[in-house]
Amino acid sequence: MASRTQPATSGRGRGRPVGSDSAETRATILRAARTVIIERGYEAATFQAIAARAGFSRPTMHYYFSTKEEIYESLQQEAYALVADSIAAAKREETLLTQLGAFISTAQRLDFSDGSMMRFIVSSRLEQHRHPRLRATTTPVSDAVAEFYTWMVDDAIRRGEIPADADASAVANMLFAMFWGMGLFAGFVHGPQNTSGIAKQLNVLLRRGLLNPQPEAVEAAASDPEPLAFGA
């Protein structure tokens, strides 16, 4: 995005600080807003609180965003972009386990170093049920993940990885529930660095329970199964 600067005056006027980079300033505001919403919730995430966290004045904030709703929508778009890229990476894989692994590892790689995007995704899902203004809004991230898991399960059944008589809807919902549960655990309980053991056990559970045994899969699981990369 091209950088726009205000003419030099005797004092700083309303709007963006002179000489600042437009995209960087906007990104700083969004990072601050994401953190404030995670910490305080949507209702308490006021323009003033976001401005204070970002280190900008309210006039500077209004130069980029007219309302808190506009900021929130931008955060949702960022989250959706991360999930969409992760789904695209997963769909290039050929088995359910590698699809799950690619989805999770790509999301971690694209997330910020502090894991704030996943925390925002989880907290915004809760906010939709808690805040009256958000109940009628769409949840593109949730819808995209649900559709992806449905596709992934159907694809696994087609390949014979999952038994043909399995309840595809129930399996997809189970994976969907695991997505939110692991997101909550990694984001708010123990942190992503403590989930590798859980991911390894989940890997074994899927190989020895849900999925039809494949000769190479059974051999790998019996030796040292490669865990899904839930943790950093």
- Are 149 and 156 in contact by the 8 Å Cβ rule? The answer is no
Place of tokens 């996943």: 118
pLDDT band at 214 (very low <50, low <70, confident <90, very high): low
pLDDT at residue 45, rounded to an integer:
93
Domain count, the chain: 2
pLDDT at residue 105, rounded to an integer:
84
Amino acid identity of residue 109, one-letter, is R
Q: What is the pTM of this model?
A: 0.76
Q: Write out pLDDT tens, residues 43-92.
A: 999 999 999 999 999 999 999 999 999 999 999 999 999 999 999 999 99
**Residues spanned by the domain of 108:** 76-223
- Are 154 and 168 in contact by the 8 Å Cβ rule? The answer is yes
Q: What would the two tokens of residue 96 be?
A: 């359910």
Checking if the pLDDT of 4 tops 60, the result is no
Say if residue 61 is in the same domain as residue 82: no
Say if residue 154 is in the same domain as residue 131: yes
Q: Write out pLDDT tens, residues 173-185.
A: 999 998 898 888 8
Say if residue 127 is in the same domain as residue 200: yes
Inside any domain, residue 90: yes
C-alpha to C-alpha distance for 4 and 11, rounded to whole angstroms? 18
* Three-state DSSP class for residue 4: coil
C-alpha to C-alpha distance for 22 and 30, rounded to whole angstroms? 12
Say if residue 107 is in the same domain as residue 182: yes
**Mean pLDDT to the nearest integer, 115-133:** 86
